[in-house]
Structure 1
Amino acid sequence: MNQNLLIDLQQVAKSFKATDGKSRLILDKVDFQLKEGEIVALLGKSGSGKSTLLRIMAGLIPADKGKVAYRDKAIFGPVAGVAMVFQSFALFPWLTVQQNVELGLEAQGVPAEEREERADAVLELIGLAGFGGALPRELSGGMKQRVGIARALVTNPDILLMDEAFSALDVLTGETLRNDMLELWDEDKISTKGILIVSHNIEEAVVMADRIIILSSDPGTIRCEVKIDLPRPRNVESAEVRALIDEVYGLMTMRTTHEASSEVPSSKHLGYRLPDTDVSRIEAILDMVAEAPYNGRADLPQLAEEAELSDEELFPTYEALSLLGFAVLEKGDIILTPLGRKYFDAEQAEKQELFGEQLLMHVPLAAHIRRKLEMEVNGSLSEQPLLELLEEFLKADEAKRVLEVAIEWGRYGEVYEYDYHTGRLKMPEQEDEE
């Protein structure tokens, strides 16, 4: 038995059933260990199963396959030594701050006097001394999250799991709370032995973690690991930290062999993994990259800062620009292709024509819709068969989202039209008139 091993996952897999009864693999063959004395950050795009993995470790949901152990004991339900902090604060609005913090202790059967003492101590530690009698509605977002953290820490957990705990806060508040947490950890002011953070913020992960684990998507598997030996506190403007941020951006935007092969069209696969972004954001980011000071090549972290959007919001747009042939991603940079530059310089009508051409060339689902329309006598097609086709591979809500993206892109590129009242696609009007 390894005394320093807190969490041990071996070959973990998890599936969920969609509303149509079909099973969808979320996680597959995940091997992961959390050791004493380390902070680990878990990064991955939408669909990588980050939060699902955290809930398996907390004992909130079971794995379908593999080993899940806490201190070498199998996890079959909630674990007393593991506490979790959620993005949504998850406070009971009718309870005071003090009562919210004491909940976990009350569930453990801790006497009232001891509960009060421990809650007072942790509220002071987290910077909320004097707020015990307040209700959640009287607090700012940052203070609410401090209550959520205090509620987790008051049970003296071995392991603290943080599920995008800072993402609902404004940038300054999130940074302050993050630094306060690191100070508590680095100065041994809390008893926690290991912290696992799920995040979509690359800068946050690099500043906080000793290791960064990057998951691939559909299903979630561990793609790679980045070890960080820099001492904390870390200056985000230092050359070493900036280089690490660029490295992680590069790894996040690099497509694995699995991901690339999954987009090759076949009789049963129509390239259905379309990025969740719209035309206006695609054009806005393309314009930013094309213009000064970038002039065709932009550093992704710098671009995210200027765009005032999160990495999670921007990654689908980068993917779309790459998919359509307007840009390439290289070592944490986005670079316009000659076609991307041509698109930027073009008049509106030519932009739409270029967009439509690239859509038909690189998005098999759009090309499939166009071919089906060309085969129909009246040039019209119900969306329902397309949804049913997508639902062979995707959950119903994801299939709907993908089709909506394909419709929006296709309408903009004048590849086909869509009637929102009837739910039918049709050939563009100018082609009907020929």
Structure 2
Amino acid sequence: MLLEARDITKAFSTGGKPFPVLEGVNLAVGEGEIVALLGRSGGGKSTLLRILAGLIPPDRGEVRFQGKRVEGPAEGMAMVFQSFALFPWLSVLENVALGLEARGVPKEARLRRAREAIALVGLQGFEEALPKELSGGMKQRVGLARALVVEPLVLLLDEAFSALDPLTAEGLRGDLLDLWQAGRLPARAILLVTHNLEEAVALADRALVLQGSPARIGREIAIPLAHPRDPHHPRFRAVVEEIYQALTLREEVERRLEEEMVRLPSASVEALASLAEALARHGGRADLPVLATEEGLEVDDLFPLLEALELLGFARVERGDAELTPAGTAWASATPEERKIMFGEHLLRQVPLFARLHQAVLERHRVPEERVLARLRQHLPEPEAKRVLAVVREWGRYAGLLGYDDRARVFFVPEQMEEAPEL
């Protein structure tokens, strides 16, 4: 094994209170394989990748690279990030050579190696170009060359293709796979974090699925498909379906969290209505990969919408399929005014957080936003608490349950709009 994680646990602290992200994560990446790491948005994938690279330490457990414990940035591993992270004032050649300069490689040698890496990723002739003169795909090729120039044994890809348009991303993935299969990459293993399931199945030999909160490796799914892989082949679609099912499984700890109705999914009402209408067009039930493809939704976009529809009692998700409930079918076909009324009724019935806040507003007439945020902070880290608060505002206003004064930052009963505080 080139890279191992043993019982990795990590929590972040907000306001002095720890919020666990990873708990008891174990994985191994062997020579000659590409491994995909998958999980829901905010589920700890990028955190785990940074721990493996030695960029941040775990709270408990250890990372071993070639049998040695990792205690800081590990020489022999390199990462390609989602953001291009290029220095705008440096040329392509200088950006690629920068890592070698930091390692003390003599100028002549680092420039030679940088040119070789640039040629490897197909950018020969652009050595003197500045990042502003490059397209998004070319910038990411520079990022890849910068990682390859240090000749890593393990290449880590953190959503490396997600910032690119689909056609450019497909081309870069194909080029990377060609280099890997031809043995032209210095790396002997690749570990990629992605939210694109088709990307994972197209590239990887196996997929590791993070599940739970805090997250751990809940499933390992082999991808025994020969290259080149046809994304329309039944066996390819079957693996995609299997990963979808693994990602939609919710453990008891997640169910309890949902019962508390604190961690609301990020989902606009407009997007929820659009997805409900799409399900209705399928007769009320649809296969998740098919639904995602037809609606042009990535996993990180689709799952929060499905969670919200489930939360509201408008849909069920089982074994990789989504199905409208009778209430969801009625909501999808209702008039705009009827939809608002139904949405509000289901908010009060299905989401205790809204029921409590609405009752508090009725009793006190005004509830400061900060009081709601303070309650959310008891369960969630600061960024997550603010995100949920934004969902509360949008859903409550749409349903007509909550008024909100942007200047005073208070919630109030909509009928009392005229009595909202003035500054």
Is residue 238 of structure 1 aligned with residue 228 of structure 2?
no
**2:345 aligns with one of 353, 357, 363:** 357
Is residue 16 of structure 1 aligned with residue 6 of structure 2?
no
Deviates more, 1:344-353 or 1:169-178: 344-353
* Post-superposition offset of 1:431: 12
CA distance in structure 1 between the partners assigned to 2:4 and 2:371 by the alignment: 44
User: What is the match of residue 316 of structure 1?
Assistant: 304
* Post-superposition offset of 1:333: 2.2
CA distance in structure 1 between the partners assigned to 2:32 and 2:181 by the alignment: 10
* Post-superposition offset of 1:126: 1.0
Deviates more, 1:132-141 or 1:250-259: 250-259
Is residue 211 of structure 1 aligned with residue 206 of structure 2?
yes
Q: The residue matched to 1:95 in structure 2 has which SS?
A: coil
Is residue 403 of structure 1 aligned with residue 413 of structure 2?
no
CA distance in structure 1 between the partners assigned to 2:333 and 2:13 by the alignment: 47
Is residue 390 of structure 1 aligned with residue 376 of structure 2?
yes
Give, as a single letter, the amino acid of the residue that structure 2 aligns with 1:11. Answer: D
User: What is the match of residue 401 of structure 2?
Assistant: 415
Give, as a single letter, the amino acid of the residue that structure 1 aligns with 2:374. Answer: E
Is residue 367 of structure 1 aligned with residue 355 of structure 2?
yes
CA distance in structure 2 between the partners assigned to 1:80 and 1:313 by the alignment: 35
**1:290 aligns with one of 271, 280, 284:** 280
User: What is the match of residue 268 of structure 1?
Assistant: none
Matches of residues 256-271 of structure 1 in structure 2 within 5 Å?
256-265=251-260, 271=261
User: What is the match of residue 72 of structure 1?
Assistant: 67
Give, as a single letter, the amino acid of the residue that structure 1 aligns with 2:186. Answer: S
User: What is the match of residue 141 of structure 1?
Assistant: 136
* Post-superposition offset of 1:279: 0.6
User: What is the match of residue 339 of structure 1?
Assistant: 327
CA distance in structure 1 between the partners assigned to 2:295 and 2:334 by the alignment: 23
**2:220 aligns with one of 215, 222, 225:** 225
CA distance in structure 1 between the partners assigned to 2:417 and 2:367 by the alignment: 16
- 8 Å CA contact 1:44, 1:217 repeated in 2: no
Deviates more, 1:410-419 or 1:53-62: 410-419
- 8 Å CA contact 2:212, 2:250 repeated in 1: no
Stretches of structure 2 that go unaligned for 5 or more consecutive residues are 419-423
**1:328 aligns with one of 316, 319, 323:** 316
- 8 Å CA contact 1:249, 1:300 repeated in 2: yes
Give, as a single letter, the amino acid of the residue that structure 2 aligns with 1:285. Answer: L
What's the RMSD between the two structures over aligned residues? 1.8
**Which TM-score applies when normalising by structure 1?**
0.93
Give, as a single letter, the amino acid of the residue that structure 1 aligns with 2:263. Answer: R
User: What is the match of residue 177 of structure 2?
Assistant: 182
Deviates more, 1:184-193 or 1:410-419: 410-419
Q: The residue matched to 2:258 in structure 1 has which SS?
A: coil
User: What is the match of residue 270 of structure 2?
Assistant: 280
**1:62–1:430: structure 2 CA closer, same or farther, 3 Å change rule?**
closer
Is residue 155 of structure 1 aligned with residue 145 of structure 2?
no
**1:299 aligns with one of 252, 266, 287:** 287
Spell out structure 1 runs of 4+ moving beyond 3 A. none
Give, as a single letter, the amino acid of the residue that structure 2 aligns with 1:408. Answer: E
* Post-superposition offset of 1:101: 1.1
Is residue 34 of structure 1 aligned with residue 33 of structure 2?
no
Give, as a single letter, the amino acid of the residue that structure 2 aligns with 1:178. Answer: R
* Post-superposition offset of 1:134: 1.0
CA distance in structure 1 between the partners assigned to 2:407 and 2:296 by the alignment: 35
- 8 Å CA contact 2:212, 2:253 repeated in 1: no
Q: 1:129-166 deviations in whole A, cap 9, x for unaligned?
A: 11111111111000110011011111110000000000
CA distance in structure 2 between the partners assigned to 1:22 and 1:240 by the alignment: 46
CA distance in structure 2 between the partners assigned to 1:342 and 1:193 by the alignment: 54
**Which TM-score applies when normalising by structure 2?**
0.95
CA distance in structure 1 between the partners assigned to 2:386 and 2:108 by the alignment: 53
User: What is the match of residue 427 of structure 1?
Assistant: 413
Q: 1:265-307 deviations in whole A, cap 9, x for unaligned?
A: 3xxxxx211001111111111112212xx23222322322332
* Post-superposition offset of 1:321: 0.9
Q: The residue matched to 1:263 in structure 2 has which SS?
A: helix
CA distance in structure 2 between the partners assigned to 1:413 and 1:430 by the alignment: 15
Q: 1:213-240 deviations in whole A, cap 9, x for unaligned?
A: 1112532222211111111221101010
CA distance in structure 2 between the partners assigned to 1:420 and 1:22 by the alignment: 29
Q: 1:11-66 deviations in whole A, cap 9, x for unaligned?
A: 11112222x23222121111111111111111111221111111111111111101
- 8 Å CA contact 1:81, 1:159 repeated in 2: yes
- 8 Å CA contact 2:156, 2:192 repeated in 1: yes
Q: The residue matched to 2:362 in structure 1 has which SS?
A: helix
